[in-house]
Structure formats: structure tokens, C-alpha cells
């Protein structure tokens, strides 16, 4: 089996698998999200963690009947702006909603494309330059970060995420020269319990600190626990690439199981219930993630819930802590909400960078990502960083590739004699196979010699593919000229065409199949793959063009050497 044939078969299998996944997503069975213009209504006890405590809603003075979650007329909305966030905090429960990532627009304008449109007298395509919205109060895209306290049996009331807090002002903004911004909310009952919930935002950081201070001014001890959770409907990427699908769903990290995906189907089947020291829970999507991180030095209980109207909850709660009379205790946790930049996430919590999902090839993908970052730090351009990584990988496998290309060159050299044998023994297949193997033995040609070295490289190629797909730093990154977004398609399809040409050149350097039908099919592959690559991110196509070009140079040189031998 020759090298190019094997690579084509593997690429065809990978594309077939992606097409099958896409078919399942588009046409397979899936839940229908309820659409309504009325405020969403939740059974106010159903979306709370089951800790075995008494009904805290009755204790916190809330009506046990269904209550509207997002009634902006009844609740006070606080607007917070930092250098990276524009978000809203609902005084009902202190819930974070409508969080925009100011440094990450949904789309990016291409100046070269706009100029080309202007030259031919056409209006340029309008792009949505609004920032990515992570948390969302829209019913169809509902995604909220909720938190609260649960009082234990025998203790006075505690504020959950349905309780009414008070705020000193409606707007907060991180001022120039300030490194942090605090937003306090207060809640109190008639029995001496005061809870102060404080969100702290730090300049340049996507890590939000949450402190819930319980001041017990009563005459009795108060016992309770903190919980934090994420509530959302199944995520759908409206602007996503049809051929590129990444994981979107829940994740739990525990000391025992480490990184564990909990998708919406898993939540549908059963509720998660696991305790661990430290850990975190998250909802992830392509390029971005949201995660609640409780204190790492305490045992936390993680859970999931399936609610009505295709809403899902993932979160954790702390151990019960007692607050003596006339004392106070502060519960702490962190909320990460932002891009999946691995060095940044590693500082927030152990294992949080694993939300950049390379699957079972993480052990290879992480070093490739590290190398990509190192080269980018030196050249300052993600496109050139991709070229640099491709060159490094080719150098790493230079000897293996050389053995593969030598085997193919020898196969190419004996190709005319094989065709002569085929014609001579056209009616005797068994005799042809016997004579062919005798020729291979005499000429010291191994038909598997071009295949085995490539098999060793396949995990690296697949890992690099996932690194280029998952790396948020490449999103909307410039390369050169018209390629101004490496995560988007080439607007003029130049790179896919170059990839097809390079594939055709590689075919010409390889021995053609003896069977005429196989030869015709192989000739169609460059055209087929060019069509597929028209829809792939330009960064990924750039890698293939570079890889094919380096392979052509190496293969051409080795082929000339073999053909020059007697």
C-alpha cells in the first residue's frame, strides 16, 4: 500500500465520520426547546440541589408556587462593565445573566473582501460585530450562573437564587487605573441573619470571585451550606462550521475520575451525584467555557438535574458549616467565564484547561499546543506559527517519511514490469500474485513499507487537527493578505485549490494503481477533497498545504535518487 493512497483512505474515513456526526446532529432525534414570549416559569423547588435539608424556599420567604425567573419589571437589574465583560446581575438571587465578552466579536470584517466588493460595485456583506454572549437570559438560549445558600434543618432562613437581594446602585464600571471592582448585594431576614453576596472582577481576568458572607446577629447558631450551579438549554452554534463539530455540554472534574464529560443525554438519563475534594463543574462550547470552582481544600458534592422545557443544571454544594451567634463566616467560590486559553485556565483550577478537548489524544495535543504557542511568541503570527509547527513535525518524522518515500520510489521503479506481468497473466490471478511477490523479493521492495511509517504518524496528525480546531487564539487571527481569520473559510478559496493541486502533484510522484478502475478513482480524490476543504477553516487548510508541499519536496528528492540507481 503506497503512502498517498493510505493517507487518502484515512482522510476519507475521517471526513465520513464527521459527515455522519453532522447527519446525526441535523437529522437525528433531538429535543425541541420550548419557545415562548412569556417569562419562563420554574417550579421554585425543582432547580435547587437536593442536600437533604428542609425546604429552604419556605424558609427564605418565597412562595412555593411557580415564580417567573426573568421578570425584569419585578427585579432590579445591575449592569457591570469591565475591560473584558459587560454583564447583568439580577437582584433576584444575585444571578449572572447576559454576559458579553467584549474582546471577542461574533464575526470579523475582511478588509480585502470588502475592497473587492467595492471594486465591482457591490455592497460588502454585513458582519455581526457584537460581542459573544456567554450567559443569556433569552428563553431560547437560556444560560445562567446561579448561586445561593441552603439552611440546614433547624436553622433560620437562607437566601437561595430566588431570594430578593438589595443593591446600592444600578451600574458599576471598572475605572481607569483600578485593578478590581466589587459589586455587593445584601439580604436579611427578621431573625438576625444578614447575607452579603460580593462579586469581585479583576482587570484583564475572566475569573470572577464570589464571596457570600453570613453574619449571624441572632441568639442561636446558624448552619448551612453554599451551592453554585449553571443552568442552560442545549447549546447550538448558529454560526458554526458544518464540517467542524466540537463538544458542547457539561463537564465535571473530580480528584478520582479527573475530567469527565456529562452531556445533556447523560443528564437526561440520570442525575449525577458524586463527592470529591476540590473539583469543579462547567458548561463548555466551542472556544468558550463557564465553570464554577469551589474551594479546593473542602469536600464538595457535584450534581446534575434535568428540569422542564429542556433545561439542565450542573453544579456543586459545600459541606454544612455552622455560624455561631454574633459571628460571621464567608463562603467563597470562583466563576470562570471566558475563552478557553489554556495558560489562563491552568491558573484558575487544576484540570480546567482540559475543557480544550483533544479527546484521547490529549497527551499528544498538549505538547503540540505548547509548541504552537512558543513559535507564536517568537514570530507574532498564528499563520506562521502553524507553518512552524508543520515544519517541526516533518523534521520529527523525517526518517520515517524517508523510509516510506524510498519504498514508494522503488514501487514506482518496478511499476512498468508489474503492468507487463499483469498483461501476461491476465487470465491467471494466482500466477500473477506469485510472480509479483517474487519480483518484490528480488528487487527488495516491501509493499507495506510506505504504509507502516505513516501509521506511526497518524495520531500526531489527528492531534494537530484538534489543536487547530480547538485553539481559541486562532479564532479571527490574521495570516496574510486576504486570509484575515484562520478559523473561517478562505473567502477566495485559494488555499483549498492549492491543497488540491499539491495532492495531485503527490499522486504523480506515487506509483499508480495497476487496476484501471482504482486508478480512475484515485484521480478523482484531489477534486473530491478540494471540494471538502472549501468549507474547512483556513488555518487547517494552511497546514495541509504546507505539509503537502514539504512532502512533495522530500518525496521528489528521494524518487530522483532511487531512479538514478542502477
Joined grid coordinates for residue 233: 438549554
CB of 213 within 8 A of CB of 182?
no
Report the b/e string of 355-391 with b at 16+ CB within 10 A: bbbbeebbebbbebbebbbebbeeeebbbbbbbbbbe
**Domain locations in the chain as residue ranges:** 3-17+366-564, 32-357
Half-sphere exposure of 430 (CA within 13 A, CB side): 0
**CA atoms within 13 A of residue 104's CA, in its CB half-sphere:** 22
> Looking at the DSSP assignment, which residues form a beta bridge with residue 101?
85, 132
When mean pLDDT is compared over 50-59, 154-163, 295-304, 531-540, the highest value belongs to: 295-304
* Averaged confidence pLDDT in the chain: 82
Segment 394-400 mean pLDDT: 81
For residue 474, the model assigns a pLDDT of 93
pLDDT tier at 23 (50, 70, 90 boundaries)? very low
Neighbours of 51 (CB within 10 A): 18
Confidence of residue 12 (pLDDT cuts 50, 70, 90): low
- Report how far residue 195's alpha carbon sits from residue 69's, in angstroms, rounded to the nearest whole number: 21
Tell which CATH architecture fits domain 32-357: Distorted Sandwich (2.70)
Q: How confident is the model at residue 334 (pLDDT cuts 50, 70, 90)?
A: very high
**Using one digit for the tens of pLDDT, what is the confidence trace for 367-383?**
999 999 999 999 999 99
Q: Is the pLDDT of residue 513 over 80?
A: no
Asked whether the predicted pLDDT for residue 519 surpasses 70, the reply is: no
DSSP state of 360: G
Nearest of 332, 235, 237 to residue 290 by alpha carbon: 235
Phi, psi of 62 (to 5 degrees): -90, 150
- The predicted model gives 182-202 an average pLDDT of 93
Q: Are 323 and 329 in contact (CB under 8 A)?
A: yes
d(CA 389, CA 395): 10
| pTM for the predicted model, two decimal places | 0.82
Amino acid at each position: 500500500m503506497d503512502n498517498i493512497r493510505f493517507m487518502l483512505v484515512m482522510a476519507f474515513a475521517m471526513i465520513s465520520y464527521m459527515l455522519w456526526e453532522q447527519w446525526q446532529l441535523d437529522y437525528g432525534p433531538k429535543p425541541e426547546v420550548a419557545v415562548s414570549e412569556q417569562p419562563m416559569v420554574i417550579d421554585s423547588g425543582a432547580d435547587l440541589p437536593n442536600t437533604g435539608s428542609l425546604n429552604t424556599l419556605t424558609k427564605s420567604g418565597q412562595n412555593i408556587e411557580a415564580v417567573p425567573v426573568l421578570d425584569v419589571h419585578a427585579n432590579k437589574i445591575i449592569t457591570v462593565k469591565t475591560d473584558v465583560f459587560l454583564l447583568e446581575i439580577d437582584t433576584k438571587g444575585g444571578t449572572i445573566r447576559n454576559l458579553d465578552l467584549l474582546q471577542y466579536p461574533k464575526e470579523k470584517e475582511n478588509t480585502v473582501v470588502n475592497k473587492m466588493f467595492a471594486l465591482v460595485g457591490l455592497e460588502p456583506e454585513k458582519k455581526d460585530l457584537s460581542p459573544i454572549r456567554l450567559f443569556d437570559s433569552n428563553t431560547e438560549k437560556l444560560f445562567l450562573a446561579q448561586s445561593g445558600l441552603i439552611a440546614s434543618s433547624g436553622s433560620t432562613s437562607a437566601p437561595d437564587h430566588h431570594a430578593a437581594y438589595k443593591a446600592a446602585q444600578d451600574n458599576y464600571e471598572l475605572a481607569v487605573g483600578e485593578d478590581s471592582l466589587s459589586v455587593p448585594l445584601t439580604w436579611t431576614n427578621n431573625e438576625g441573619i444578614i447575607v452579603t453576596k460580593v462579586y469581585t472582577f479583576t482587570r484583564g481576568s475572566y475569573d470572577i470571585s464570589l464571596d457570600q458572607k453570613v453574619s449571624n446577629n441572632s441568639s442561636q447558631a446558624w448552619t448551612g451550606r453554599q451551592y453554585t450551579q449553571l443552568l442552560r438549554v442545549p447549546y447550538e452554534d448558529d454560526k458554526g462550521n458544518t464540517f467542524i463539530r466540537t463538544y458542547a455540554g457539561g463537564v465535571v472534574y473530580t480528584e478520582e475520575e479527573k475530567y469527565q464529560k456529562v452531556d445533556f443525554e447523560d443528564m437526561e438519563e440520570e442525575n449525577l451525584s458524586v463527592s470529591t475534594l476540590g473539583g469543579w463543574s462547567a458548561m463548555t462550547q466551542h472556544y468558550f467555557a463557564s465553570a464554577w470552582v469551589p474551594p479546593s481544600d473542602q469536600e464538595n458534592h457535584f450534581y446534575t438535574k434535568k428540569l422542564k422545557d429542556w433545561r439542565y443544571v450542573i453544579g456543586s454544594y459545600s459541606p454544612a458549616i455552622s455560624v455561631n451567634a454574633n459571628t460571621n463566616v464567608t463562603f467563597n467560590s470562583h466563576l470562570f467565564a471566558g475563552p478557553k486559553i489554556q495558560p489562563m485556565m491552568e491558573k484558575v483550577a487544576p484540570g480546567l484547561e482540559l475543557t480544550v478537548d483533544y479527546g484521547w489524544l490529549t497527551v499528544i495535543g498538549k505538547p503540540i499546543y505548547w509548541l504552537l504557542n512558543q513559535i507564536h511568541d517568537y514570530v507574532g503570527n498564528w499563520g506562521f506559527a502553524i507553518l512552524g509547527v508543520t515544519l517541526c513535525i516533518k523534521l520529527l518524522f523525517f526518517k520515517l517519511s524517508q523510509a516510506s518515500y524510498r519504498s514508494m520510489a522503488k514501487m514506482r521503479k518496478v511499476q512498468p514490469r508489474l503492468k507487463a506481468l499483469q498483461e501476461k497473466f491476465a487470465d491467471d490471478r494466482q500466477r500473477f500474485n506469485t510472480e509479483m511477490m517474487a519480483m518484490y523479493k528480488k528487487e527488495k521492495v516491501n509493499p507495506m513499507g510506505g504504509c507502516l511509517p505513516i501509521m506511526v504518524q497518524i495520531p500526531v496528525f489527528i492531534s494537530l487537527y484538534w489543536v487547530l480546531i480547538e485553539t481559541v487564539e486562532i479564532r479571527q487571527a490574521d495570516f496574510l493578505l486576504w486570509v484575515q481569520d484562520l478559523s473561517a473559510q478562505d473567502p477566495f478559496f485559494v488555499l483549498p485549490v492549492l491543497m488540491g493541486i499539491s495532492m495531485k502533484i503527490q499522486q504523480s510522484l506515487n506509483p499508480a494503481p495497476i487496476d484501471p478502475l482504482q486508478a480512475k478513482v484515485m484521480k478523482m480524490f484531489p477534486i473530491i477533497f478540494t471540494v471538502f476543504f472549501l468549507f474547512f477553516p483556513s488555518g487547517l487548510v494552511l497546514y495541509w498545504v504546507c505539509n503537502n508541499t514539504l512532502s512533495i519536496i522530500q518525496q521528489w528528492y528521494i524518487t530522483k535518487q532511487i531512479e538514478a540507481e542502477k
